[in-house]
Amino acid sequence: MIKSLPKSRLHQLKIKFFIYPLIYFGLYLIALYNADNIGFYLLCFCFMGFMVVIIFCELIHELTHNNIFKKSHHNKIALNLFDLLGANSYIWQKRHLNLHHQYPNVNGWDADIEQKGPIAIFPSEENKSLTKYQHRYIFLLYPLFMLNWLFIRDFRDFFSQKRIIKKIVKIPSVEYFKLFFFKLLYIFTLVFIPYLFAKTHLLHAFGGLLCLTVSGSILAMIVLLTPHINVSNEFPQTDSNGKIGSSWFRHQLITTNDIDNSNWLTRNFMGNFNFHVVHHIFPHISSVYTPEATSLLKSFCKKNNLPYKSYPLGLALKKHYELIRKNALPLHEMDL
């Protein structure tokens, strides 16, 4: 069926690959030109934060799965866009393809939702006394998500031997160079160019970076938390032999849900994060074809009495909060 759908749909992604970065860098140039108007300057950086997440969902994620350009090395070259946006494309691709897609929601293996801090995501993980308040302070931490990703998480994945990624990859030396080069380039572009050439105050320059990361973090949390990390999905544990007690196919169904297209955001800017179940089962199907593929999957699951879940965005966020609250420790002592 997918082969019978128009190939011209792929042109939409290729057009977006050129249009969306132009919008992002255009906002940056507009901000520099209006650096004397601090309110407008910071507003431009807020919209840049939104564009980072849109570019990630619509383009970076697709490039990681070789779903935009016909030749895989073209996708790999284009993936360097992610490095220009402050992240590290190499470690992200390894985390996502080799760990998250193989072991979604499995503690100790799913590196995409790996946490080693004050939030207990996995029901089975060892909790700390602080986590009994996590249902309250997540609203303070989530807006800092991108700051953590850009300036802490990538470095921990490169240098900490305790990180999950070290189970499957030995990082080449050239990637260490790229890590530092692009991180420094990112800071120089967003902070020191405005300060040195647009003559904005250094605090205003750092304020722009903060606005970008906070606005991007809020949108990223809305998009990234909804397909896996909620109370309706399962978090299977491995046995003493490292095995999971279900088939690979069923595992994708019980750990993943879709987000229905009942609102403007999910219809236009979530890429494969709304039709996420079929994406996990057929990751090389582009987001422009997943609506039809999802329709077939839903029929198959209904016919064979298999679990398939899809929620409106608001309900999925509510279910995420319920998981965070449920994992708070100890639940019976929480000050409600």
The SS3 call for residue 44 is helix
Helix, strand, or coil (residue 37): coil
> What pLDDT digit, counting tens, does each position of 152-206 carry?
999 999 999 989 999 899 999 999 999 999 999 999 999 999 999 999 999 999 9
Count helices and strands in the chain by DSSP H and E runs: 17, 2
Q: Long-range contacts for 210-214 (Cβ within 8 Å, ≥24 apart)?
A: 210/147, 211/42, 211/43, 211/45, 211/46, 211/49, 212/45, 212/46, 212/48, 212/49, 212/52, 212/146, 213/49, 213/144, 213/146, 213/147, 213/150, 214/46, 214/49, 214/143, 214/144, 214/146
> What stretches of 188-240 show up as alpha helix (H) in DSSP?
193-196, 202-224
Residue 292 structure tokens: 């039809």
What is the pLDDT averaged over residues 47-54?
A: 97
- The model's pLDDT over 61-115, given as tens digits with 9 standing for 90+, comes to 999 999 999 999 999 999 999 999 999 999 999 999 999 999 999 998 999 887 6
Average pLDDT, the chain: 92
CA 93/CA 310 separation, integer angstroms: 26
Whether 336 shows a pLDDT value over 90: the answer reads no
Whether residue 37 has pLDDT greater than 90: yes
Question: 38-55 and 9-33 are packed helices; what angle lies between their axes, rounded to 10 degrees?
Answer: 160
Instruction: Over range 7-31, report the average pLDDT.
Output: 94
Q: Structure tokens of 61?
A: 């994620």
- pLDDT at position 261, please? 85
C-alpha–C-alpha distance, residues 292 and 299, integer Å: 11
The pLDDT of residue 123 is 86
Q: What is the per-residue pLDDT for 331?
A: 47
pLDDT band at 334 (very low <50, low <70, confident <90, very high): very low
Q: Is 246 helix (H, G, I), strand (E, B) or coil?
A: coil
Hunting for tokens 């792929």 — which residue is that?
A: 10
Q: What pLDDT score does 330 carry?
A: 56
Instruction: Kindly report the backbone phi and psi dihedral angles of residue 210, in degrees, each rounded to the nearest multiple of 5, phi listed first.
Output: -65, -45
What are the tens digits of pLDDT across the range 223-242?
Answer: 999 999 999 999 998 887 87
Instruction: Grade residue 127 by pLDDT with cuts at 50, 70 and 90.
Output: low
Residue 276 has pLDDT above 80, yes or no: yes
Q: pTM of the predicted model, to two decimals?
A: 0.93
Q: And the tokens for 175?
A: 């990637």
pLDDT above 70 as % of the chain: 95
Percent of the chain whose pLDDT exceeds 90? 78
- Alpha-carbon gap, residue 140 to 149, rounded angstroms: 16
What is the rounded CA–CA span in Å between residue 316 and residue 222? 9
